[in-house]
Amino acid sequence: MLEYSKTILEKVSFDVKLFERELVKAIDHLIGEEVKDLKIWCETNFFGHYQELSYHFVRAN
């Protein structure tokens, strides 16, 4: 599920609102360690553009 979520997020990264919606879905469907891995992946790939979305990961903990 983690790899699928990454694929979806890459495909919707052109639109911040769509990215946010898919990020919330991904966090809701992933479990513990997968959420941590997704956060690291997002920070590496997208948080230069989407820093305001980091609060979704705080909510997940």
Higher per-residue pLDDT: 24 or 58:
24
- Digit-coded pLDDT (tens) for 43-53: 899 877 667 77
Q: According to the model, what pLDDT value does residue 26 have?
A: 96
**In angstroms, rounded to a whole number, what is the distance separating the alpha carbons of residues 52 and 8?**
19
Q: How confident is the model at residue 11 (pLDDT cuts 50, 70, 90)?
A: very high
59, 42 contact by CB (below 8 A): no
Q: How confident is the model at residue 60 (pLDDT cuts 50, 70, 90)?
A: low
Q: According to the model, what pLDDT value does residue 33 have?
A: 95
Write down the mean pLDDT value for the chain: 88
